Amino acid sequence: MDKIAVLIPCYNEEKTIAKVVKDAKAALPEAVIYVYDNNSTDRTVELAREAGAVIRHEYMQGKGNVIRRMFREVEARCYIMVDGDDTYPMEFAPEMVDKVLHHNADMVVGDRLSSTYFSENKRPFHNMGNSLVRASINRLFQCDIKDIMTGFRAFSYGFVKTFPILSKGFEIETEMTIHAVYNQLQIDNVIVDYRDRPEGSVSKLNTYADGFRVLGTIFRLYRDYKPFGFFSLFALLLAVVSVLFFIPVLAEYFATGLVLKFPTLIVCGFVMLAAIQSFFAGLMLSNSAQKNRRDFEYRYTLVCEKELRQREQFGK
């Protein structure tokens, strides 16, 4: 088990990868630097190896797939994850490591949005998207996370070994944030500077496609983690629709003693039944979600005990 592992997912970052590796070694001399290449077609691997990084590969395309591979293979007490595009200054890494090793943090967020992100980033839709995602998650999950989609984070061993990665692409940051919030893991915040990519370095993020994937991830995780709220909302909407269409039928009955719109009445009945079903589905799935929470706590305890045994065995 390494004490500190720096994890750098990479795809065609030859312009910046050597500098990122060297900066990581300077900021964290005791750390092992891992560069996980994701089918790069340029000199990323060659330059990273020359800079002193351990090179590993993930052949399934997508950042989520890379992080799944990294989390499975690397054993460390503290993990620093940083993008290979040199947008995050590594001098903030020691503070993030300290919060994991000495203050029990499970995840430390490198907060760009509270510093230079909005002035440095030249893509206005990214600015709007980050603000929208942050507001949505903080509202839906009753939390106060400062930066949801940052690629600069620190993790504990327990977080890394119990995080179920389902995403394949850039929505992975959103998924890990919601996972930490829902399972009441300790999340700390470190404000970091952000700088735009250097000239010649091209972002792999597709503003619209990846943006919709992120929103879809929020929708899916809210349904999975907060099923009672999710299905109760649907039940309320269906009930309101049913009542609104039923009112004219009822008024006509009181006025004439006749029901002339039987199809509308029948549809209203079925819609109200769907609302009732949705409400009780939320109740049942909420019980299942609570069981998953208990199972997670048990798994998390086992992983932390394993880490403690390894530390005692190797004296770290």
In angstroms, the CA 290 to CA 270 distance is 30
Q: What confidence score (pLDDT) does residue 128 get?
A: 78
Q: What confidence score (pLDDT) does residue 307 get?
A: 86
Q: What confidence score (pLDDT) does residue 204 get?
A: 67
Over range 163-167, report the average pLDDT.
Answer: 91
**In the predicted model, is pLDDT for residue 137 greater than 70?**
yes
SS in 3 state form for 290-301?
A: HHHHHHHHHHHH
Which H or E element spans position 239? helix 227-256
Asked whether the beta carbons of 181 and 145 are under 8 A apart, the reply is yes
Q: What confidence score (pLDDT) does residue 125 get?
A: 65
What letter would DSSP give residue 112? Answer: -
Asked whether the beta carbons of 24 and 33 are under 8 A apart, the reply is yes
> What is this structure's pTM?
0.85
Cα four-point dihedral sign 255, 257, 262, 265? positive
**Per-state percent for the chain, helix, strand, coil, to nearest 5:** 60, 10, 30
Asked whether the beta carbons of 187 and 176 are under 8 A apart, the reply is no
Q: How many CB atoms lie within 10 A of CB 32?
A: 18
Q: What confidence score (pLDDT) does residue 1 get?
A: 65
Query: At residue 300, what is the residue type?
Result: Y
Q: What confidence score (pLDDT) does residue 238 get?
A: 96
Asked whether the beta carbons of 36 and 8 are under 8 A apart, the reply is yes
**pLDDT grade for 316, boundaries at 50, 70 and 90:** low
**pLDDT grade for 313, boundaries at 50, 70 and 90:** confident
Among residues 124, 35, 26, which one has the least CA distance to residue 83? 35
Q: How many CB atoms lie within 10 A of CB 136?
A: 17
Backbone φ and ψ for 58, nearest 5 degrees, come out as -130, 120
Q: What confidence score (pLDDT) does residue 193 get?
A: 92
Among 1-5, 69-73, 205-209, 212-216, top mean pLDDT goes to: 69-73
Contacts for 46 with CB less than 8 Å, ≥ 6 apart: none
Over range 251-280, report the average pLDDT.
Answer: 92
Query: At residue 165, what is the residue type?
Result: I
Question: Strand 2-10 vs strand 54-57: parallel, antiparallel, or unpaired?
Answer: unpaired
Paired tokens of 144: 């106060």
Supply the DSSP string of 253-306, one letter for each residue.
HHHHS----HHHHHHHHHHHHHHHHHHHHHHHHHHHHHHHHHHHHHHHHHHHHH
Chain-centre distance for alpha carbon 39? 23
Q: What confidence score (pLDDT) does residue 250 get?
A: 92
Q: What confidence score (pLDDT) does residue 116 get?
A: 79
More confident residue, 181 or 169: 181
In angstroms, the CA 46 to CA 18 distance is 9
**In the predicted model, is pLDDT for residue 87 greater than 70?**
yes
**In the predicted model, is pLDDT for residue 210 greater than 90?**
no
Mean pLDDT of the chain, nearest integer:
91
Which segment of 34-43, 94-103, 120-129, 169-178 scores lowest on mean pLDDT? 120-129
Chain-centre distance for alpha carbon 59? 22
If you count them, how many residues does the chain have?
316
Task: Tell me the C-alpha to C-alpha distance, in Å, between residue 302 and each of 2, 72, 181, 186.
Answer: 19, 16, 20, 18
**In the predicted model, is pLDDT for residue 11 greater than 90?**
yes
